[in-house]
Amino acid sequence: MSVIDTIKDQIEKNSILLYMKGTPRFPQCGFSSRTVEALMSCGERFAFVNILENPEIRSELPKYANWPTFPQLWINGELVGGCDIVTELHASGELETMVKAAAESDETPAE
């Protein structure tokens, strides 16, 4: 499986996915820390990939996403954005709506 295939698979299998530096408990940069804080305040579980432990994803994801920086939040297969966008969405209340809807769709059994 190529790195791009791995990225596509991660995005497809996780309705809420954060590519970040570090982990939610131990973020390794201020931008990742602020993004995790906003995401955690929504009260739903989310997947994450520590790009510091995955150098090939760290180098390929910006090309795939056409987004140069980390963190990157993906919801339902769509790139939401990085720290600034996520914190703005959080401040407006939109982030919680998006996260809750994605989490709800995970819990809905497929017909």
DSSP track, 29-48: SHHHHHHHHHHHTTT---EE
Residues making up the binding site: 21, 29, 58, 70, 83-84
* Mean pLDDT, rounded, of the chain: 95
* Domain, as residue range, for 101: 3-107
Q: Residues with Cβ < 8 Å from 33, sequence gap 6 or more?
A: 27
The pLDDT of residue 108: 59
Residue 111 scores a pLDDT above 60: no
Residue 107 scores a pLDDT above 70: no
The pLDDT of residue 109: 55
CATH number at residue 7: 3.40.30.10
- Helix 30-40 crosses helix 94-107 at what angle (to 10 degrees)? 60
Q: Residues with Cβ < 8 Å from 61, sequence gap 6 or more?
A: 7, 19, 51, 67, 70, 72
Give how many domains the chain has, as a whole number.
Answer: 1
Reported as a single tens digit per residue, the pLDDT across 7-22 is 999 999 999 999 999 9
Residues making up the binding site for glutathione: 21, 58, 70, 83-84
Residues making up the binding site for [2Fe-2S] cluster: 29
